[in-house]
Structure 1
Amino acid sequence: MNRYIIGVDLGGTNIKAGLYDTEFAPVKELSILTEAAQGPAHVLERIRVAVNLLTIGNGIPLREIAAMGMGIPGLLDPYEGLSVFSPNFPGWEQVHIINEMKQHYSFPVFIDNDVRVNLYGEWLHGAGRGCSNLVLLTLGTGLGSGIVHDGRVLYGTTFSAGEIGHMNMYRQGRPCRCGSSGCLGRYVSAVGMVNTLKEKLAAGRRSILQEWTSGDEAAFTAKMISEAYDLHDPLAVEVMHETGELLGFGLSNVINLLNPQRIIIGGGMSAAGDRLLSTVRETVNAHALKLSGSSCDIVQAELGSRAGTLGAAAYAQQRMPVFDSAARHGML
């Protein structure tokens, strides 16, 4: 009998899902709308729709599924299978995902934070292959991160290790939704970089982006800043440089603390490439401990939007031996 693993990456807009063989060759990958506004029960049903499209839609019976891994945004307990809170999902509190899935599937289902499943993807099948010590940053609307230390993913007491985005960079900086202020993620995320541009425009500076959007600052995006950078727009160059410098200072702290051999930059903002990373590397070279800094390379992620689904499947495979052992000893 053939065996397959499913990976699901739950996003506020889309549910990405993939079906893989045991060597992680993709059989089918897809994306469907999450429809998060309709509540937790509907979102869970949408996940089951995605699973049906992967399996029944490809002539694969559920009995051939070895396991399913799921990346869930927000706070959760991966061992209890409980999603405690997810800020972009209305009404999403104390959702016991594993119990819900047990009602429909006989194969084991495992959940973890969405950034950590991206970490599993890049570590095992992407830019982190072969590394025992690495850090993944996902730069998008916010800043997410995950850590592999001495060959093991770090979780922490409340499963929230690696919140690099909430590293305080300014004593009295931009307010953050975490309740603090001056957090790194408020500056080096896509939203943060756009806000840096807006602050400079409010101080009387000018940019080609004002012409592109007819002065509508709500239309500004990080991608537009990259495009203006390529046209040598002075303000876009300055904003990109400042963002890279601040990220470099943050990563210098990470390098000094964790001594990784590689830092992987993923998420939508990673598309900026060396526009951003050249300044990051220069800052790290100047400010990280020399031995630690020279032993760590900073690279772009390889898997793009596939990291979450592939990583969720890889995470499920990692969890299966423990699950099988518990089942044999009557602990489940």
Structure 2
Amino acid sequence: MYLGIDLGGTNIKIGLLNADLTVQMKLKVPTESETNSQTVMANMIAGIKQLLAETQTDTSQIKAVGIGVPGQMDIKKGLSIFSPNFTHWENVPVVQLIEAQFHLPTYIDNDVRVNLYGEWQLGAGRGKQNVLMVTLGTGLGAAIITDGQMMYGKSNSAGELGHLNMYRHGRPCACGSSGCLGRYVSARGMVKTVQEHLAAGETSVITEWTHNDQAQITAKMVSEAYDQQDQLAQTVMQETGEILGYGLASAINLYNPERIIIGGGMAAAGDRLLTPARAVIAGHALKVAREVCDIVPAQLGAWAGMIGAGVYAKQQI
């Protein structure tokens, strides 16, 4: 058996996977990402213990642990160097902490690569050799398989599409730059765009839903308001989709994928977001590259990262 763990900004998803990678049991525990690395890692360890106890599984039955972690990392050293969605999180020895606790071979990788391992083996990427995955959640992540090989790059940071510069002097990003794609096309980015439109004097049903408390606005509300023909929501979704389209057009020109898989919680916006994105791609991506590439939703759903982490653990063994 394998343990697959997806470290998210809101929840840590933990799964016990059988030898054939079917899920025996799964659970999630709050991440508390706004606290510090000690609290987050303690939450992860407690969640693993809970899963093992509830399934009456002994660690001797588990071959390996795979963990998907957002941000920059040193995979060989098992270090999470920097994660933009976490507070007080620098050079966290994730592998060392888990191995010390459970005495199991443990492997980390970027959360989106782990997602893509899952989709490639068991989901929307099956049978494809050139695949780009983009996850739209709290931030924007991406991973790339080229000619049947996952791309890593010299410092394991290949495929950071979320940090494509879309505006010379745009919104500041935790990476140190500004105007990054992920600051516009993400749940946080879309909420910020709504807030900017409201600040400019536009009105929306969303302000009624949140009783004028802008801190309560969510990306899901934008989809719901869109479906009620709310003008501001439709404008924001159009803008966000177009920026996504420019980012994907650049990725198509760079990587020449045969399939782009869109995952993450915000992917639930579906065609509301992808219709404007496809229109931009049609006008801006190279014709020869564009014509061989389709864009599809991820298949493994909200637990894709956890499943992919199990797939990754099995591959490492």
Q: What's the TM-score once normalised by structure 2's chain length?
A: 0.93
Aligned twin of 1:329: none
- 1:158-307 aligned within 5 A: 158-307=155-304
C-alpha contact (below 8 Å) 1:9/1:16 kept by paired residues: yes
C-alpha contact (below 8 Å) 1:21/1:27 kept by paired residues: yes
Question: Against the structure 1 CA distance between its residues 244 and 40, is the aligned structure 2 distance closer, same or farther, given a 3 Å change threshold?
Answer: closer
Of structures 1 and 2, the larger Rg is shown by 1
Question: Against the structure 1 CA distance between its residues 122 and 200, is the aligned structure 2 distance closer, same or farther, given a 3 Å change threshold?
Answer: same
Q: Flag structure 2 segments of 5+ consecutive residues without an equivalent.
A: none
Q: Flag structure 1 segments of 5+ consecutive residues without an equivalent.
A: 321-332
How far residue 150 of structure 1 moved from its aligned partner, in angstroms, is 1.1
Aligned twin of 1:323: none
Aligned twin of 2:93: 96
Query: Tell me, what secondary structure is at the counterpart of 2:212?
Result: coil
The whole-number CA distance in structure 1 between the counterparts of 2:74 and 2:129 is 24
Residue type of the alignment partner of 2:294: D
How far residue 41 of structure 1 moved from its aligned partner, in angstroms, is 4.2
Q: Give CA deviations for 1:69-126 in whole Å, capped at 9, x if unaligned.
A: 0112232111111222334444433332323333343431111122221121222222
Structure 1 residue 150 and structure 2 residue 147: aligned? yes
Residue type of the alignment partner of 1:114: D
Indicate the larger mover: 141-150 or 51-60.
51-60
Residue type of the alignment partner of 1:305: A
Question: % of aligned pairs identical?
Answer: 53
The whole-number CA distance in structure 2 between the counterparts of 1:170 and 1:148 is 27
- 4+ residue stretches of structure 1 with deviation over 6 A? none
Match of 2:45 among 48, 68, 89: 48
C-alpha contact (below 8 Å) 2:263/2:301 kept by paired residues: yes
Q: Over the residues paired in the alignment, what is the CA RMSD in angstroms?
A: 2.0
- 1:23-62 aligned within 5 A: 23-35=20-32, 39-62=36-59
How far residue 37 of structure 1 moved from its aligned partner, in angstroms, is 6.3
How far residue 38 of structure 1 moved from its aligned partner, in angstroms, is 6.4
How far residue 166 of structure 1 moved from its aligned partner, in angstroms, is 0.9
The whole-number CA distance in structure 2 between the counterparts of 1:249 and 1:300 is 18
Residue type of the alignment partner of 1:118: N
How far residue 224 of structure 1 moved from its aligned partner, in angstroms, is 1.2
Aligned twin of 2:15: 18
C-alpha contact (below 8 Å) 2:129/2:147 kept by paired residues: yes
The whole-number CA distance in structure 2 between the counterparts of 1:77 and 1:187 is 27
Residue type of the alignment partner of 2:213: D
Structure 1 residue 318 and structure 2 residue 300: aligned? no
Residue type of the alignment partner of 1:66: K
The whole-number CA distance in structure 2 between the counterparts of 1:234 and 1:35 is 35
The whole-number CA distance in structure 1 between the counterparts of 2:316 and 2:276 is 38
Residue type of the alignment partner of 1:294: E
Aligned twin of 1:71: 68
The whole-number CA distance in structure 1 between the counterparts of 2:57 and 2:110 is 28
Query: Tell me, what secondary structure is at the counterpart of 1:103?
Result: helix
C-alpha contact (below 8 Å) 1:285/1:294 kept by paired residues: no
Q: What's the TM-score once normalised by structure 1's chain length?
A: 0.89
How far residue 206 of structure 1 moved from its aligned partner, in angstroms, is 2.2
